[in-house]
Amino acid sequence: MCKEGRIVVLSAPSGCGKSTIIHNLLEGDDALPLEFSVSATNRAPRTGEADGVSYHFLSTEAFLAAVADGSFVEWEEVYPGRFYGTLRSEIDRKTALGRNVILDIDVKGALNVKRIYGDRALIIFVQPPSVDELRRRLEGRATDSPEVIDQRVGKAAYELGFAPQFDIRVVNDNLDSAVADTRAAIERHLA
């Protein structure tokens, strides 16, 4: 029998560079041996997002039916009316074959995965150098209105309160060192 695969979870307040870090870990010659766990959601696909690649895009009815039949390891209403969930099949099928998986899920989902899988899961919190710096970054992107920036900063401050419960915290001050720190922690977990 092959060794059961391991689980890595990355969580971060929005605007902390989590997707860029994941991209860096999974692409290129030095890509880590991790497969992305494709979550399910009832939100609409954005431009460039393919079904089954970015997410499994479900109708609200189909999502709630999957909740009812126990298809999810965890699920959350991350934004009002917008559901996201980790499919049991994504984790259990892959790890049973000895493959390692990486999840990009919200803070509460990460803590639930840790509660369920214990030492098999490494949960990593990516944080901004400070809430003020996060605000400066979001303002610098100039993609969000002041109200949306206020909401994101408020949510980030709330989420930062969960950071101490994570196995590892990585401060994304400099992208290269944040990627290096995350990579080192994952390599130790997979060893």
Judged by the rule CB under 6 A, the positions of this chain that interact with ligand 5GP are 39, 43, 74, 76, 78, 84-86, 104-106, 109
Q: Closest CB to ligand 5GP among 29 and 70?
A: 70
Instruction: Give least dist CB 110 to ligand 5GP, A.
Output: 8
Q: Closest CB to ligand 5GP among 18 and 135?
A: 18
Say whether 87 sits in a helix, a strand or coil. Answer: strand
Query: 155, 128 in Cβ contact below 8 A?
Result: no
Instruction: Give least dist CB 25 to ligand 5GP, A.
Output: 15
Instruction: Give least dist CB 2 to ligand 5GP, A.
Output: 26
Phi then psi for residue 158, to 5 deg, are -65, -45
Q: Closest CB to ligand 5GP among 5 and 63?
A: 63
Instruction: Give least dist CB 126 to ligand 5GP, A.
Output: 11
Q: Closest CB to ligand 5GP among 93 and 188?
A: 93
Give ∠ CA 19-7-172 in degrees, rounded to 5.
Answer: 35
Q: Is 61 exposed, middle or buried (0-12, 13-18, 19+ CB in 10 A)?
A: exposed
What are the Cα distances from residue 62, in Å, to 18, 69, 70, 71, 103? 28, 11, 12, 11, 22
Query: 90, 37 in Cβ contact below 8 A?
Result: yes
Cα(132)–Cα(32) distance, rounded to whole angstroms?
Answer: 32
Instruction: Give least dist CB 109 to ligand 5GP, A.
Output: 2
Q: Closest CB to ligand 5GP among 106 and 181?
A: 106
Name the residue whose CB lies closest to ligand 5GP.
109
